[in-house]
Amino acid sequence: MPHRYSLRVENGALEGQSFPIEGDGFTVGRKSGSSLQLTDASVSGAHARLSVDDQGVSVRDLGSTNGTRIGSAKILEARLDIGQRVTFGTIHCTLARVDAEDHGSGGMDDIVLEGDSGDSEELTLEEP
């Protein structure tokens, strides 16, 4: 099964939120209708586009005023690695891989363990 990806916003108004990236139409920008709408003034109306293929995720700057960066390097187009930070204007985001198990498809959502606080037992969970 192919991997799925998300972009987690690390600062600004959407800090802590993650957005799924699918196909080649994931846009980042200030204007309404962007897949990830960042209302920060440092972000252009149509700032960047992210694409997913068999090799992973790539990002392309769309001629933004303040640029797109990976680390400190300003890029026009580049491949993103899992955990890598990409910056749109001054808004930092991190790429994450989200596999099907992470979406609760067949997995356990919540586990509650109850018992005496004095007893300590080791618990091992295995997938079926």
The whole-number pLDDT of residue 24 equals 75
If one counts every other C-beta atom within 10 angstroms of the C-beta of residue 46, the result is 16
Question: Which of 61, 94, 96 lies closest to 76, judged by CA?
Answer: 61
The whole-number pLDDT of residue 110 equals 44
The whole-number pLDDT of residue 25 equals 81
Domain architecture of the chain: domains with CATH: 4-102 (2.60.200.20)
The whole-number pLDDT of residue 109 equals 41
Q: How far apart are CA 108 and CA 102, in angstroms?
A: 9
Written as one letter, the residue type at 69 is R
Q: Spell out, as residue ranges, where the chain has pLDDT lower than 70.
A: 1-3, 100-128
Q: Which two tokens stand for residue 52?
A: 């997913």
